[in-house]
Amino acid sequence: MRQPVVYILDNNSAISDEIITHISEYLPASRLEKADRYLRTVDRNNCIISYFLLLYGLLENYGIRTIPEIERGLHGKPHFKDADISFNISHCDSGVCCGINDRSLGVDIQDTDIEFEEILDITMSRRERELIERSDAPSEIFARFWSLKESLCKYRGTGINDALNKIDFSEADSNVFSVNGVFFRSEKRGGFWISASSENQVPAFIEGDIEWYIHRFREIYE
């Protein structure tokens, strides 16, 4: 049984157009078309980078050199049509991540500089709200809880719903923990919190810059 792996890329805003063009050569046309629909450059680049991380994970872990056909479940969670491999991607202004596993997993990444006041009551439990409001860095605490909740919803395949404030992570005072048979890892990296959840093992986090990923990809691919 493989350990779930989450590949992380920090400082995605510093990636050059030349690198984006280079890694785009390995990606399916459908993904590039989706990327072109984004208005902001950082969103367009994140769309491309996240799938390059997915391709890297497929190549490193399974020897798969192209991204299989992707379908979406009832609540929008993507999955491969003909490959028994789970994946999940997420990105924010500060970073990008992609998780890959033999079984279901969920990943989420959230900027720590986040405006949360208008959604605090509908997304956080009473105890979580208390911790956020008492904190010297409330937006960072909110980002952590939010990323944990999103990773769990993605793991379950339910999508974000109206019951977020019924999910409570106020007792999760460690970076690694389990709740009701689900394993979590949550860490602050740079300007974001990243969280991952899995049913079989605690996910491993692997972080590198884009040059490192490209170098490793070429070594395996070629």
Predicted local distance difference test score (pLDDT) of residue 162: 60
Predicted local distance difference test score (pLDDT) of residue 5: 97
**Structure token digits, residue 57:** 């994970």
Predicted local distance difference test score (pLDDT) of residue 163: 83
Indicate the Cα dihedral angle 94, 152, 156, 75, nearest 10°: -50
Predicted local distance difference test score (pLDDT) of residue 172: 95
Contact of 191 with 112, CB cutoff 8 Å: yes
How confident is the model over 27-63, as pLDDT tens digits? 999 999 999 999 999 999 999 999 999 999 999 999 9
- Which residue bears the tokens 């106020």? 170
How confident is the model over 141-179, as pLDDT tens digits? 999 999 999 999 999 988 776 688 999 999 999 999 999
Residue 63 CB-half CA count within 13 A: 0
How confident is the model over 98-122, as pLDDT tens digits? 999 999 999 999 999 999 999 999 9
With b meaning 16 or more CB within 10 Å and e meaning fewer, what string describes 72-91? eeeeebebbeeeebbbbbbb
Which spans in the chain are helix H? 17-24, 29-36, 41-62, 120-123, 126-134, 138-156, 210-221
Question: Helix (H, G, I), strand (E, B), or coil: what is residue 146?
Answer: helix
Question: Helix (H, G, I), strand (E, B), or coil: what is residue 113?
Answer: coil
Confidence of residue 72 (pLDDT cuts 50, 70, 90): confident
| Strand partners for 192 | 111, 189
pLDDT at residue 82 is higher than 70: yes
Average predicted confidence (pLDDT) for the chain: 93
Measured CA to CA, the distance from residue 198 to residue 34 in angstroms comes to 28
Question: Helix (H, G, I), strand (E, B), or coil: what is residue 95?
Answer: strand
Question: Backbone dihedral region of 77: left (phi > 0), alpha (psi from -120 to 50 degrees) or beta?
Answer: beta
Measured CA to CA, the distance from residue 78 to residue 72 in angstroms comes to 4
Measured CA to CA, the distance from residue 66 to residue 175 in angstroms comes to 33
Predicted local distance difference test score (pLDDT) of residue 219: 95
